[in-house]
Every structure is written in C-alpha cells, then in structure tokens.
Amino acid sequence: MAAISETGAQLFARLGEKPSLARLNPKLIPPGLEPRPGDVVEIYGNSGSGKTELLLNLAAMCILPEQWKAIDIGGLGTSVVFVDTDHQFSMLRLFALLERKVAEAIDKRTKRKGRIGDHDGGTASTTHFNSECANQKDNDSNKETCLQQNVNLNLHSASCRTTESAKQSTDEAKFSPPSEEEVETFLKACLKKLYMVKIATSNQLVITLHSLESLLASQCDISVLMMDSVSAFYWVDKMKGDGAHRQGVNQKLAFGALSRLVEDYHLVLFASKAALVTKQPQNEFSLRLDSTGETDHSNQTSTSSVKLSTDHHEFMSQEWTKLVTHRMILERHDHMTSDGPNSSYISVLKHKASGNMYSCQFIVDQQGIRV
C-alpha cells in the first residue's frame, strides 16, 4: 500500500484559486504587469531606497479586506508570510499604515454620506410618451387606451426610481463611523493574516523554508510570500572561507525550497535584494521606456526617459536569477525644498519575459507610499 503523500486539505491549498493582485497598487504596479501566482518579484536598490517600506505597504494592502462595515477599504483580504532576514521589519510602522488607510477609507465614506444627503431633496423625473398615441386621431378609444398605458409606464418608472433612491438613502442614513475600539479590534483581526518569521542565519533560512510547507498546507488563504531580503547572508557566507562551492550551498538550497513553495502553492513572492555588488557606469544609466519592442505603461513621469544612477548588477546564484519574473529597481533622490530637505523615489518595474516596463515617481510619508 502506497504511503499517503498529502491530505485533502493540502491538495486544496495547492490547487485552490488565489486572488488577483491587480488591485494591490495599480499606480505602482499597473494592470498588465501585476504578478500572477507562481511569479517572483525582485525589489532591487541601495540601502535607504525604500525596499522595506514598499514591502510593508504591499503587506498592508494584502491583509486589509476589500470592504468592512460598508466601507470600501480596497484591500485583497489575503494572508501573507513575511520572512525577515534583515531585521528591518517594524510592526509599529505596519500598524500605522493600516490605521492610516482605514482612517482614509472611513473619511471618504463619511463624505459620500454627506453628499448623498444633500441630494435627497429632489429627484429628476422623466416622462415617457409614446409617439404612436399622437397618431390615434380617428379612434378616441384606442387613443385613450394608449395614453393610459403611458401613464402606467411613467408611474412604474417613478416608483422604481423612488424605491432605489429611498433604499440608498436608508443605507446611507444607517451608516455611522466605527468607534476607535471597533477600528482597533478590526486592525488586530487583519494582523492575524500576517505570519512573521525571523531568520538569523542562512542555515536557519533553509530549515525554515522547508518547514513552511506545513503552514501553507493548513492555511489555504496564504497567497503572498515576502522576504526581506534574499541577500542578507551573502557576505556572511562568503567570509566563512569554506571555498566557493561551500559558499553557495545554502543559497542553492534556499532558492530551491522557495521555487518549490511558489510553484506548488501558487504563491507570489516579493523579495528585496540589496545592491551589495555594484559597478560604476561611466555615464549615467538611462532607461528608455519608449524604445522599440517595449511597451511604455508610464504616465507618471514628466519625461520620456527615466535616468537611474543605479544599474542592476547580478551577484546571486543562477538559481535565483532563473526564479525572478519581475524586477523593480528603486532609487532615492534627496533634494532641498522651501520646507527643508526632502526625498523622492523612482521605481522602474520590468517584466523579464515580455520586456514591458513601467516607471513612476513616489514619495513616502506618514500615510505610506504616495504615487
């Protein structure tokens, strides 16, 4: 008798449908370039370029629901596994992002209630008249019947409009902003969809990735895996002095486990990678988005080209390079304003298979990423 390889729950977790990430952040990741189950998005940049901040913003939108108490939140309502190897993850920052996004949604809902209340005073009506009734000159009986049908039609239309308007007004009248206690309880419930894993060594990373399968099999709603970052132990392993072959062993084992998890459980992996090994270009690297054979999705930048001083330079093993389907390069620019020093960020997203690119500029404030 063959041994049981997996339970029904594990099979369902592997084959179950995962939510689309098209609504994750359309201004940052536009439709058509959004990652699909099985894809790996590498977020590349120097220290301070916003990689961890971006992951926190994406995680917040993942664990928030689409709607709560008739309030449009705009989240995905899916669970996330966050593997923290750089120890830059901030629970306080994530909670603040959740709090801000919910507060914005409540404010919009309250303003919409006020606008609808202002329009309750009157509803425009349209009178339908059948032109054939005007031709009923010779037969008064037929003309009277036709006119009566028009009256009934108008009464029915007015009744439907009145019913719909009354229902909408009633729903709006019933709405009241949730209390602070309700919001706090709601946010804590959202945080239950986040599974945190802290990693200290490359050996621990390999073991943990292999053990994640039991969690993924038991929690079918996990659809996103985040890792900050894949390059955390690069120099540590390199300085062990065990030879070139030994240095890459844990990398290969870790990336092999990641590949299997992403493929078997239809996950989307967002992983940051620091620009640890860089090459200095003689001229500023110019990335043209309107070049032949590439689709320009950008409508956020003021010029037809985005100039980056950060050029991607691969230093990880081939196992990782083969996994990556999307690459996002982040760069930070500091400048002086009338209010003092300020920072803006540039993001360039590329789909490796198609070559399609998208660029945008954004800022980071207390409310998160603003494109």
At 168-187, the pLDDT tens digits run 555 566 778 899 999 999 99
**Residues ≥6 apart with Cβ < 8 Å to 47:** 274
> What is the average pLDDT value for the chain, to the nearest integer?
81
d(CA 269, CA 37): 9
Q: What is the CATH number of domain 18-92+193-370?
A: 3.40.50.300
Kindly report the backbone phi and psi dihedral angles of residue 217, in degrees, each rounded to the nearest multiple of 5, phi listed first: -70, -30
SS (H, E, C) 18-30: CCCCCCCCCCCCC
Split at pLDDT 50, 70, 90, the class of 342 is confident
Other beta carbons within 10 angstroms of residue 220's beta carbon come to 18
Cα angle 319-49-289, degrees, rounded to a multiple of 5: 75
d(CA 306, CA 300): 11
Structural tokens at position 366: 């207390």
H or E element in which residue 307 lies: strand 305-308
**Quick check: helix, strand or coil at residue 183?**
helix
pLDDT tens across 197-227, in order?
A: 999 999 999 999 999 999 999 999 999 999 9
Among 79, 127, 24, 9, which Cα is nearest to 349's?
Answer: 24
pLDDT at 25 exceeding the cut of 90? yes
pLDDT at 59 exceeding the cut of 70? yes
pLDDT at 49 exceeding the cut of 60? yes
Entry pTM? 0.78
Amino acid sitting at position 338: S
pLDDT at 191 exceeding the cut of 80? yes
pLDDT attached to residue 26:
93
pLDDT tens across 94-130, in order?
A: 999 999 999 999 999 888 866 655 555 544 444 454 5
Q: Do you find a cis peptide bond into 229, omega within 30 degrees of 0? A: yes
Kindly report the backbone phi and psi dihedral angles of residue 350, in degrees, each rounded to the nearest multiple of 5, phi listed first: -130, 135
d(CA 307, CA 222): 37
